[in-house]
C-alpha cells in the first residue's frame, strides 16, 4: 500500500514539475491571455505579480520584451528597484504596459491586493499622459529621439491603448479595477481625441480615402518611415485593427462610417488571391518562407504597399525596396511578417455592421428634406437623438433669410466636421450644451489645402458668413498642430457674437474679416502661437483670456484706413504657456492696424517694448497701438516702443461698447447682443 501511495505522489510531483516547466516556457503574452481565471489566484501568479510590480517604473509604464514570469535573483530585484526612477525605454510597443495592466486586472479580480490596483491606475495615468494633443500616441514616452516620436499604429500599439480606454469608459467590467470618475472623464476625452486622430490620419490616395500607415508624423500626420525596412507605406496589417476598433463604436459619426466604408473598399481592392506563404527547408536545412501558388488559398494582404498605387514591396535592412519576398535576405525574409490575413475578418463582419448602422447611412440630402417639428428650434446630437447628427446638416436645412431667429442647439460631443454658415443663413444661433464638451474640430492647414498664397483662408474649422450670428457655450478647434497657418474660426459677417466659447489652435487661430464688420467676443478663451488673432474687422474682446503658446505675436490687425476702431481688448487677461516668455502685443499686418488694451492684466511673458513694426518703419506712423490702465508684470508703459501710446482717461472713455460696435451698424449691436445673450 505504501509503495502505491509513493508512486502516486511521485507521479503528481512529476506532473506538477512538468506543468511548471511548461508554464515558464510560455510567452509572457500567452500567460496573460491563455490561463483560466482561477490560475490568477495561485502562488505562481502571485510570484509573477511581484515581478510585474518590480518592473514598473515610477512614471507608470513598463519596458518592452520582458518575460515577466522568469524568476529574478536578489541582485536583479535590487537593480530593478534602482531603475524605478529611470524613464528610458518605457513604452507601449510590442504590447508593453497594456499587457501588464491586463495581468494586474486579472490577478486583482482573484486577489484584491491594493498594490495591484494602484499599479494598474498608475499605468492608466501613464497612457493618458503620453497622448499628444492631436490625439496620437508615440512609441515611447517620455519621448525617445528618432522615429519613436511618430504616432504609432505599428503592432497595434495605439489601438491597444484605445481599446483599454474604451473598456473603461463603457464600464464593461472587462477590467476588474474601476478608476475614479475624474480619471474616467479624462479617458473619455483621450479616447475621443484618439478617434479623431485616426480619422485625420487616414490616407488619401488621389483624393480617395484608403487606409493607414504603421507610423504617421506627429506634426504633419503624414505617413512616416520607421526602421530602415519599414518605409512610409499603406499597411494591410495595422489598418485592420484600426477598422475593427471603428466598427466597434456605438452610434458612429458620419466621419467614422465614411472611414470604415473607405477602408473596406481599399481592402477589397488590395487583397491578393491565389498565393499562400509556406515554410520550407532550404539547402542548409534551415526553415525558409516562400510564396507559392494556390488557387484555393484564402486572400492575403501585403504589410507594406506603395502610397501612390498600392503595389506591395519588401525591404532588407538597407532600405531598398524589392518587388518580391524572395529578393530580400534570409534574416528579414523569415524574421518579419510581410503578409497578413487580418483584413479578412473585417470583410466577414462588414455586411452585418452596415445593417446595424443602416439609419446612420441615410444620405444628408434626404435628411435635409425632412419636415422639422419646429424649424426655428433645431437639435443636433451625434448620437441620433435630435433632428440631425451633424451641424452642417442642420445649417443646410435651415431656412434662408428667416423671418425670426433660428436656434440650433448642439448637444455635447466632438463634431469632426468643417462647418460653414452661409451668407443666406442669417440670424442663426449656435447654442452648445457645454463649453468644454460641445466641440467642433477639424485639421486643415496651409500646405494641406495647397491652393496657393491664399490657402490660409480655406483652413477654417468654422466659417461664419451669415450676419447676426450668435454662438454660446462651445469649443472650436483646429487640431492640425504647429504646421503653419491653420484657422479655427473665420468670421466674415456683421453683428457676430461669441460668448463663453473656447478657440484652440496655433498660428492664425482666429480670423475676423470683412471691412466695416463688427464682432463681439465676451468671456471667451483664445489661444495660439503666431498672429493668432488677425484680420480687418472691428472687434471688442471683453473679459477674455488670451493665451500665448509660444514666443511670438498675439495680434496682426489689418484695420482699413480711416476706421475708428480695430481690435479692442477690455478687462482681458493675457496668459502664456511655460515655454512662452517673449511675446509681443501685436504687429501690423497692414499699415493702418489698430489695437488697444484697456484694463487688461498682462503676464510677464509680454516683452517690455510691447509692440513690433513687422519690419515696416512706415507702419510706426500709420498704425495705432495703445494701452490704458493695465496691470501685471507685462505692463511696462515706460519701456514701450516710442511710437505706441498710453491713453489719457479722456481718450479711454471713448472706448465704450456703443462707440466700438454701433458705429456704422444697424441695428444697434449692443442692443442686439443684450437681447440675444
Cα–Cα distances (Å) from 662 to 210, 220, 426, 468, in that order, read 51, 42, 19, 13
Cα–Cα distances (Å) from 51 to 26, 120, 252, 263, 386, in that order, read 16, 14, 41, 41, 51
Query: Could you tell me which of 236, 265, 260 has the C-alpha nearest to residue 248?
Result: 260
* Three-state secondary-structure class, residue 427: coil
Whether the CB-CB separation of 92 and 22 falls below 8 Å is answered with: no
Question: What separation, in Å, do the N-terminal and C-terminal C-alpha atoms of the chain show?
Answer: 94
What is the DSSP annotation of 321-364? EESSGGGS-HHHHHSS--EE-THHHHHHHHHHHHHHTGGGGS-H
Query: Could you tell me which of 493, 472, 469 has the C-alpha nearest to residue 672?
Result: 469
Query: Catalytic: 508?
Result: yes
Check the CA dihedral 148-151-155-160 and report its sign: positive
Residue 120 C-alpha from the chain's centroid = 24
Q: Spell out the residues 6+ positions from residue 147 whose beta carbon is closer than 8 angstroms to its own.
A: 139, 215, 224, 225, 226, 227
List the grid coordinates of 527: 489661444
Is beta strand 545-548 parallel, antiparallel or unpaired with respect to 525-528? parallel
Annotated catalytic residue within 443, 508, 523, 551: 508
Cα–Cα distances (Å) from 124 to 208, 617, 618, in that order, read 36, 54, 56
Q: Which residues pair with 234 in a beta bridge?
A: 305
d(CA 191, CA 265): 26
d(CA 628, CA 635): 10
d(CA 243, CA 247): 6
List the grid coordinates of 488: 479655427
> How many helices (H) and strands (E) in the chain?
19, 34
d(CA 366, CA 363): 5
d(CA 255, CA 262): 10
d(CA 677, CA 649): 30
Annotated catalytic residue within 531, 536, 562, 662: 531
Task: Sort 666 into a burial class: Cβ within 10 Å, 0-12 / 13-18 / 19+.
Answer: exposed
Is beta strand 496-504 parallel, antiparallel or unpaired with respect to 470-478? parallel
d(CA 429, CA 411): 14
- Residue for cell digits 462707440? 659
Cα–Cα distances (Å) from 67 to 34, 146, 596, 629, 631, in that order, read 15, 26, 63, 65, 59
Side-chain-facing half-sphere of 289: CA atoms under 13 Å:
18
Query: Catalytic: 282?
Result: no
**Catalytically annotated residues:** 508, 531
Amino acid at each position: 500500500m505504501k509503495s502505491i501511495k509513493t508512486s502516486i505522489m511521485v507521479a503528481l510531483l512529476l506532473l506538477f514539475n512538468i506543468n511548471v516547466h511548461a508554464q515558464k516556457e510560455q510567452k509572457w503574452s500567452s500567460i496573460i491571455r491563455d490561463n483560466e481565471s482561477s490560475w490568477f489566484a495561485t502562488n505562481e501568479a502571485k510570484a509573477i505579480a511581484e515581478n510585474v510590480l518590480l518592473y514598473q517604473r515610477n512614471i507608470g509604464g513598463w519596458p518592452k520584451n520582458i518575460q515577466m514570469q522568469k524568476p529574478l535573483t536578489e541582485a536583479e530585484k535590487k537593480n530593478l528597484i534602482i531603475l524605478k526612477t529611470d524613464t528610458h525605454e518605457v513604452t507601449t510597443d510590442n504590447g508593453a504596459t497594456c499587457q501588464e495592466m491586463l495581468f494586474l486586472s486579472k490577478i486583482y479580480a482573484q486577489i484584491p491586493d491594493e498594490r495591484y490596483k494602484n499599479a494598474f491606475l498608475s499605468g492608466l495615468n501613464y497612457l493618458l499622459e503620453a497622448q499628444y494633443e492631436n490625439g496620437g500616441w508615440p512609441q515611447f514616452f517620455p519621448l525617445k529621439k528618432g522615429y519613436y516620436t511618430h504616432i504609432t499604429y505599428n503592432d497595434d500599439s495605439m489601438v491597444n491603448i484605445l481599446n483599454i480606454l474604451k473598456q473603461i469608459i463603457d464600464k464593461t467590467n472587462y477590467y476588474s479595477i474601476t478608476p475614479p470618475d475624474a480619471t474616467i472623464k479624462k479617458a473619455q476625452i483621450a479616447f475621443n481625441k484618439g478617434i479623431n486622430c485616426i480619422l485625420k490620419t487616414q490616407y488619401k490616395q488621389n483624393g480617395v480615402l484608403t487606409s493607414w500607415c504603421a507610423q504617421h508624423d506627429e506634426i504633419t500626420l503624414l505617413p512616416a518611415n520607421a526602421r530602415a525596412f519599414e518605409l512610409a507605406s499603406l499597411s494591410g496589417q495595422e489598418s485592420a485593427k484600426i477598422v475593427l476598433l471603428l466598427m466597434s463604436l456605438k452610434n458612429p459619426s458620419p466621419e467614422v462610417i465614411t472611414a470604415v466604408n473607405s477602408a473596406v473598399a481599399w481592402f477589397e481592392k488590395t487583397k491578393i488571391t491565389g498565393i499562400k506563404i509556406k515554410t520550407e527547408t532550404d539547402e542548409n536545412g534551415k526553415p525558409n518562407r516562400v510564396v507559392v501558388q494556390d488557387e484555393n488559398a484564402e486572400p492575403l494582404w501585403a504589410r507594406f504597399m506603395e502610397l501612390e498605387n498600392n503595389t506591395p514591396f519588401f525591404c532588407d535592412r538597407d532600405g531598398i525596396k524589392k518587388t518580391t519576398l524572395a529578393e530580400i535576405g534570409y534574416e528579414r525574409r523569415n524574421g518579419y511578417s510581410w503578409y497578413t490575413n487580418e483584413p479578412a475578418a473585417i470583410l466577414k463582419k462588414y455586411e452585418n455592421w452596415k445593417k446595424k448602422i443602416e439609419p446612420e447611412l441615410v444620405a444628408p440630402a434626404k435628411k435635409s428634406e425632412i419636415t422639422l417639428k419646429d424649424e426655428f428650434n433645431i437639435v443636433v446630437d451625434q448620437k441620433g437623438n435630435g433632428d440631425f447628427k451633424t451641424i452642417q446638416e442642420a445649417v443646410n436645412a435651415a431656412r434662408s433669410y428667416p423671418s425670426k431667429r433660428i436656434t440650433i442647439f448642439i448637444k455635447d460631443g466632438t463634431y469632426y466636421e468643417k462647418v460653414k454658415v452661409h451668407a443666406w443663413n442669417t440670424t442663426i444661433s449656435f447654442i452648445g450644451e457645454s463649453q468644454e464638451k460641445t466641440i467642433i474640430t477639424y485639421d486643415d492647414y496651409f500646405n494641406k489645402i495647397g491652393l496657393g498664397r491664399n490657402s490660409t483662408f480655406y483652413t477654417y474649422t468654422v466659417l461664419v458668413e451669415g450676419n447676426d450670428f450668435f454662438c454660446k457655450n462651445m469649443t472650436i478647434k483646429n487640431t492640425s498642430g504647429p504646421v503653419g497657418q491653420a484657422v479655427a474660426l473665420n468670421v466674415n459677417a456683421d453683428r457676430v457674437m461669441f460668448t463663453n466659447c473656447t478657440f484652440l489652435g496655433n498660428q492664425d487661430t482666429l480670423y475676423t474679416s470683412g471691412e466695416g464688420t463688427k464682432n463681439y467676443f465676451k468671456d471667451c478663451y483664445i489661444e495660439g502661437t503666431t498672429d493668432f488673432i488677425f484680420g480687418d474687422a472691428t472687434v471688442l474682446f471683453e473679459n477674455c483670456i488670451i493665451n500665448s503658446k509660444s514666443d511670438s505675436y498675439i495680434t496682426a490687425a489689418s484695420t482699413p484706413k480711416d476706421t475708428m476702431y480695430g481690435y479692442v481688448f477690455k478687462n482681458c487677461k493675457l496668459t502664456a504657456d511655460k515655454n512662452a516668455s517673449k511675446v509681443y502685443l501685436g504687429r501690423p499686418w497692414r499699415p493702418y492696424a489698430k489695437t488697444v488694451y484697456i484694463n487688461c492684466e498682462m503676464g510677464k511673458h509680454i516683452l517690455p517694448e510691447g509692440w513690433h513694426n513687422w519690419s515696416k518703419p512706415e507702419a510706426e506712423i500709420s498704425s495705432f497701438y495703445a494701452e490704458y490702465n493695465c496691470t501685471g508684470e507685462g505692463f511696462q508703459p515706460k519701456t514701450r516702443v516710442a511710437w505706441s501710446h498710453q491713453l489719457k482717461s479722456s481718450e479711454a472713455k471713448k472706448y465704450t461698447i456703443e462707440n466700438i460696435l454701433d458705429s456704422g451698424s444697424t441695428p444697434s449691436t449692443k442692443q442686439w447682443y443684450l437681447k440675444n445673450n
